[in-house]
Every structure is written in structure tokens, then in C-alpha cells.
Amino acid sequence: MLTVRAPATSANLGSGFDVFGIALGAPADIVRVERAPETTITVTGTGSEFIPEDPEKNTVGAVADALDAPARIEIDKGIRPSSGLGSSAASAAGAAVALNELYDRGYSRDELVPIAAEGEALVSGEAHADNVAPSLLGGFTIVSNTDTGSNVTQVDASLPLVVCLPETTVSTRDARDVVPDQAPLSDIVDTVSCAATLAVGMARNDPELVGQGMTDEIVTPERSALIDGYEAVREAALDAGATGVTVSGAGPGVLAVCRHDDQRGQVASAMLDAFEAAGIESRAYQTRVGAGAQLYRE
Ligand SMILES: Nc1ncnc2c1ncn2[C@@H]1O[C@H](COP(=O)(O)OP(=O)(O)OP(=O)(O)O)[C@@H](O)[C@H]1O
Ligand SMILES: N[C@@H](CCO)C(=O)O
């Protein structure tokens, strides 16, 4: 049996809607595979009661199909679904790495990105790759769509992070419905400026530049309105020393970038307290930008 640990991810980072993503050190999904005449799936772990085991409906089923790699697949969920932490993408990325190895398909990690994105198409209606790319490659990723597919640029960034996850859910489908079709040119100019600043910050491991570049006035204001307590949590994290705060992926997770590891405790406490003051239970992960999916043999 082959085992893969596939990390959670945070997409968008404010200014990079559908483009930027980072791998998180924690949490993660564990995906185990062994050859079988047809694909079967079992799901255990956090939120597993909301995840279909039917291969036609689970992201890993789409990946097994795309790789023509039928298998008995066990998913142990460490990442709650509809969290904004790339739960569905982590399973897909883990399955892509595991099945590629199991059937000796020989694809590189870059080549597995569009294959794992087939799973995302199944659940959100679009094969967006901004969660599967960092889960496969680790670090900070930039996904761009071209006529011939998608290109991914990756940087091994290293930054201290806090991700605070309220006990509420937001489905990516619903969160995509509130994204505006058009935006004023001045907002687009500001977003490009922020995105460029953030990318340079990642390349330099500079939390000030990354935090500065996490602002966007087009998508995040609409998305954050779906998260009760968001503004208070954001302000609390900034007051506690975070350099930037934004919605993680489609939400409701909230991502904060910190200057150093020791600061994460106070930022996490501030975010938890602000959610609690809004009457919402939450949990916080004190983590860092992490590595991509890791393969183990048992
Ligand atoms: N292996 C899987 N893991 C998690 N969710 C899955 C999986 N397969 C199918 N799903 C479905 O995908 C949906 C969750 O995906 P959704 O995109 O809303 O949230 P997410 O993956 O946490 O992240 P994000 O907001 O970061 O994209 C749920 O309806 C869930 O049942
Ligand atoms: N970029 C996607 C990622 C979902 O995690 C979105 O924000 O809808």
C-alpha cells in the first residue's frame, strides 16, 4: 500500500484570486492506495460524513479516472471540507501522487497539476488549480491559464502563518457566485500592484511585503461578507502584529501572515477571541508555508 500526506493550502491570498496559492505545514489529508479492478473509496476523519464515497462524486475518483488507475482508495481527512483550506484539492493531489506511483505513470509533479484539477472541476464546476498546485509542489505557487493549459511557477517560500477556522462552512460554489463579473480600472490597478508586491515578498521571504500585498478591493469584500465576525477577526490579528490578513480560499478560514514564529501565539489568541466575541467557535493552526505532498511506502 502507498501512502501520501497531502497538505492543506490557502488560495488567492487576497490579490491573487484564482492565481496564488501556498501550501500549509498543517493540517493535511492522508491518502492510501492499492491496486484494484475498480475504484472504491472510503473516507474517515474530520467532516467525513459530508464527503461522498461514490467515485463519481469524490475528487479522488476523478483523478483515478484521469490516470486510468483503478484502486482501493482510503482517505483520512485532516482538512475539514468547505473550510477554505483546499480540502477537496488535498485529497485530489494526494491521490494523483499516489496513483501516479502505484501505476508507474511517470508524470512529473507539474504534469500532475491539471490531472488533480479534474477533481476540483467535479466539485466546484471549474478545474481551478490554485489549491492543487501548492498541495503538489509546496511553497508559493502562481497558476496562469494559457491556450494550451495552465502554467505553474513555484517558489519555496518560508513564512510564519496562522489560519483560523470558524465552525461555519462556505461552499466554494456559493462563494464563487458573489464574485463580481467586472471591476473599476482603479481597483484592478491597485490589485495588480498588490499582487506584484506579494510575489516579490514571497521570493524574498519578506512578511512585510507579503502582508502589504494581501489587499484586494474586488473579491475579498464580497467574500468576507459571508463570514460572520470577519472584520473583527481581521482587525484583532493586525492589532496583534500580523502583517496581512485575508480570507483563505473561498472562506470561511482566515489567513494571517506573521513576522516571526513567536508572534503566532498572540495572533492566534486574538483571532480566536474575536470569533468567540461574535458567538462563533473556531480553531487556529499555527503553521508555516510548507512542503508539497509526501509519499511513503508501507
Ligand atoms: N475528497 C474530498 N475531500 C473533501 N471534499 C470533497 C472530496 N470529494 C468531494 N468533496 C466535496 O467537495 C466539497 C468541498 O469542496 P469546497 O471546494 O467547497 O471546499 P474546500 O475543498 O474546503 O476548499 P476551498 O474553499 O479551499 O476550495 C464538499 O461538497 C465535499 O463533499
Ligand atoms: N480560487 C478559488 C479557490 C477556492 O479555494 C476560489 O477562491 O474560488
Measured from the CB, is residue 129 less than 6 Å from ligand 1?
no
Q: What are the CA-CA distances from residue 55 to residues 39, 62, 67, 79 (Å)?
A: 7, 7, 14, 19
For residue 231, give the DSSP letter: H
Residues assigned a catalytic role: 120, 172
* Helix ranges, 69-169 (H): 87-102, 109-124, 132-137
What integer pLDDT is reported at residue 171 of this predicted model?
Answer: 82
Q: Is the peptide bond before 252 cis (omega within 30 degrees of 0)?
A: yes
Domains annotated for the chain, with CATH where assigned, are: 2-156+290-297 (3.30.230.10), 160-288 (3.30.70.890)
Determine contact, residues 187/267, Cβ cutoff 8 Å. no
Would you write out the chain's pLDDT as a tens digit for each of its 298 residues? Answer: 899 999 999 999 999 999 999 999 999 999 999 999 999 999 999 999 999 999 999 999 999 999 999 999 999 999 999 999 999 999 999 999 999 999 999 999 999 999 999 998 888 777 889 999 999 999 999 999 776 677 999 999 999 999 999 999 888 888 999 999 999 999 999 999 999 999 999 999 999 999 999 999 999 999 999 999 999 999 999 999 999 999 999 999 999 999 999 999 999 999 999 999 999 999 999 999 999 999 998 6
> Angle, to 10 degrees, between the axis of helix 87-102 and the axis of helix 109-124?
130
Could you tell me which residues come within 8 angstroms of residue 236 by beta carbon, excluding any fewer than 6 positions away?
270, 271, 273, 274
Measured from the CB, is residue 124 less than 6 Å from ligand 1?
yes
pTM above 0.90, yes or no: yes
Measured from the CB, is residue 21 less than 6 Å from ligand 1?
no
Determine contact, residues 11/110, Cβ cutoff 8 Å. no
Sign of the C-alpha dihedral, residues 135, 139, 144, 148? negative
**227 phi/psi in degrees, rounded to 5:** -110, 105
What integer pLDDT is reported at residue 101 of this predicted model?
Answer: 98
Q: Which atom of ligand 1 is nearest to the CA of 60?
A: 1
| Pairwise CA distance, residues 21 & 131, whole Å | 6
Cell digits for 116? 488533480
Give residues (CB < 6 A) around ligand 2.
Answer: 11-12, 18, 86, 128, 130-131, 172, 175-176, 249-250
- Quote the ligand 1 centre to 85 CA distance (angstroms): 9
CB count, 10 Å around CB of 267? 28
What integer pLDDT is reported at residue 293 of this predicted model?
Answer: 98
Cell digits for 247? 480570507
Q: Is 10 annotated as a binding residue?
A: no
| Pairwise CA distance, residues 117 & 181, whole Å | 23
Distance linking the first and last C-alpha atoms of the chain: 6
What integer pLDDT is reported at residue 173 of this predicted model?
Answer: 81
